[in-house]
Amino acid sequence: MSEALDRILPYAHSFSELIERCRHDPTFNAADWQDAYNRLNRLRDRYNHEKSNLDHSERQALIKVFEEDAFIEGLLHIRQIGEHVQMRSEPVIRSMTIAPIPICVKTSARGFFQAPVVRVPDTTGQLHSISHLQNLKEAEKRIQRALDSAIKKLL
């Protein structure tokens, strides 16, 4: 395993650890859920920083989840809502079926993180249910699968 992958793994562990805590916490804590999306962003940022130092097989496994996965990319856009970071375009998150959900830039973090499952309007006003736990568990599963693949290719 490369040193670059060794530096990525703690970020993946931190992301998974917080999802596990959120999953079992009997009280919904919006800050923890928002932090889980932020940890996903930090994990992807660490991957971007380290990708040129990854072994070829590691990079091939991780590129699929961090650069080519539309669902993960959509979850990364949630940071715009939570931290009021504005991009030049509307953030587009993806449903579990990968259908695009364009969210208004002015979507409130308070409203978006008010419960484990929220209904938010898209740019046309149509409401969509967003399950934070379902989204984050799916992201964790995809990332873990990619990491497992990166590690197995080295064995």
Report the C-alpha dihedral over residues 99, 18, 42, 79, rounded to 10 degrees. 50
**Length of the chain as a residue count:** 155
Q: Find the domain containing 120 and state its range.
A: 3-152
CA pair distance 48, 86, nearest whole angstrom: 21
Are residues 62 and 54 in contact, defined by beta-carbon separation less than 8 angstroms? Answer: yes
Predicted TM-score (pTM) of the model is 0.88
Q: Which long-range contacts (CB under 8 A, 24 or more apart) does 8-11 make?
A: 8/43, 8/46, 8/47, 8/50, 8/62, 8/147, 9/147, 11/39, 11/42, 11/43, 11/46
- Per-residue pLDDT of the chain in tens (155 residues, 90 and over written 9): 899 999 999 999 999 999 999 999 999 999 999 999 999 999 999 999 999 999 999 999 999 999 999 899 988 888 777 665 555 566 677 766 667 888 776 677 788 889 999 998 888 889 889 899 999 999 999 999 999 999 886 55
Tally the domains of the chain: 1
Place of tokens 């859920």: 33
